[in-house]
Amino acid sequence: MAAVLLWRGRARALLSRVRGAPRALRGLAAGPEMHFGFQSVTEEERREKIYQVFENVAKKYDVMNDSMTLGIHRVWKDILVHKMNPSPGTLLLDVAGGTGDIAFRFINYVRAARERQLQRKLKHHQNLSWQEIFENYQEDKFNSLGSSQVVVCDINREMLKVGKQKAQHLGYSEGLSWVLGNAEELPFDDDKFDVYTIAFGIRNVTRIDLALQEAYRVLKPGGRFLCLEFSHVSNPLLSRLYDLYSFQVIPVLGEVIAGDWKSYQYLVESIRQFPPQEELKAMIEDAGFFKVDYENLNFGIVAIHSGFKL
């Protein structure tokens, strides 16, 4: 307990020092010094360290998410997919999608939408000839998703492994692919995807501007960029409670459940280092997106940023 309090004091000091630090430390400039939580490291080191973090937490990632956010992360992800409102035929790229949460929700949503679409079509066509009915059944059999697809891309092999296992376990097979790739340099052609999502991943990208540019590149014209990420709470009372919870409880949970204090300390520190809502909005606009907007969830603990490639 004493150790935690001592550490807390240190965190406060670091916090105030870092807050005053120039913008370069927020990982935007091309300078060699970057932040890893509250430490100062080079770009390469940062990538290394982050890879390590997720390699370590991969197996317990979902359990930790549930315990840290008291299960609310599920609601956040549901809201993200509802906001996306994908129609059947959408091609989704889920970057840093590791364990597949967004991908599975997308598949469920599109499946339901497809069923509604088919029911409406049937109601519409009351007087079909036998030939037409036959044709309808032919295409429906192979099209329960309406040719929608999701590509899950992650830089970390362990996270992808966990994701694939989950997919198998839950029975998701159709319309799902797993690709190893770096958000700063995506292994895809231009103008390919309808929607690009990055849920709780952009914080861990070393060069956010590059990731945004890549997102712009791989999206089709008219395509949508969606980013779900921890953000800044403006309400002062809530902010204090949130800080308290983050720095006191989460690393302890990390140690108890996942046996890894440091990774979860990195997590909460990285949240504090991440640009606030307006700044991220400006960055997204700089990458070329239009109609950029954000929606705060839970008073700013989490925010969904949205932009269109127009």
Partner 1 sequence: VRCQHYPPLRALQASAVLRRVSDEHKKEPFTSSSQQQFDPHPAGHQPEQEPQGPRSSSTGQGGQESEDYESEEQLQRRILTAALEFVPEHGWTAEAIAEGAKTLGLSIAAAGMFHSDGSELILHFVSECNTKLSELLEKEQKLVQLGKAEKKPTDEFLRDAVEARLRMLIPYIEKWPQALSVLLLPRNIPSSLSLLTSMIDDIWHYAGDQSTDFNWYTRRAVLTGIYNTTELVMLQDSSPDFEDTWRFLESRVADAMTMSSAASQVQSTGEAVVQGLMGAAVTVSSAESSRAKT
What are the residues binding partner 1 (CB under 8 A)?
83-87, 89-90, 117, 120, 124, 184-185, 189-191, 193-195, 207, 210, 213, 217, 219-224, 285-288, 290-291, 306, 308-310
The residue among 245 and 290 lying less far from partner 1, judged by its C-beta, is: 290
Stated as kind and residue range, the H or E segment containing 92 is: strand 91-95
Q: In 3D, which of 309, 107, 110 has the Cα closest to residue 224?
A: 309
> Considering the complex, what minimum distance in angstroms separates the CB of residue 189 from partner 1?
5
Euclidean distance between CA atoms 75 and 98, whole angstroms: 18
> Considering the complex, what minimum distance in angstroms separates the CB of residue 1 from partner 1?
45
Q: Residue 44 forms beta bridges with which residues?
A: none
Residue pair 290/225 in contact (Cβ under 8 Å)? The answer is: no
The residue among 174 and 286 lying less far from partner 1, judged by its C-beta, is: 286
Euclidean distance between CA atoms 240 and 247, whole angstroms: 11
> Considering the complex, what minimum distance in angstroms separates the CB of residue 276 from partner 1?
20
Euclidean distance between CA atoms 47 and 120, whole angstroms: 49
The residue among 110 and 176 lying less far from partner 1, judged by its C-beta, is: 110
> Considering the complex, what minimum distance in angstroms separates the CB of residue 285 from partner 1?
7
The residue among 27 and 86 lying less far from partner 1, judged by its C-beta, is: 86
Give me the helices (H) in 21-100, please: 43-57, 61-69, 72-84
The residue among 43 and 243 lying less far from partner 1, judged by its C-beta, is: 43
> Considering the complex, what minimum distance in angstroms separates the CB of residue 193 from partner 1?
8
* DSSP labels, 157-195: HHHHHHHHHHHHHHT--TTEEEEE-BTTB-SS-SS-EEE
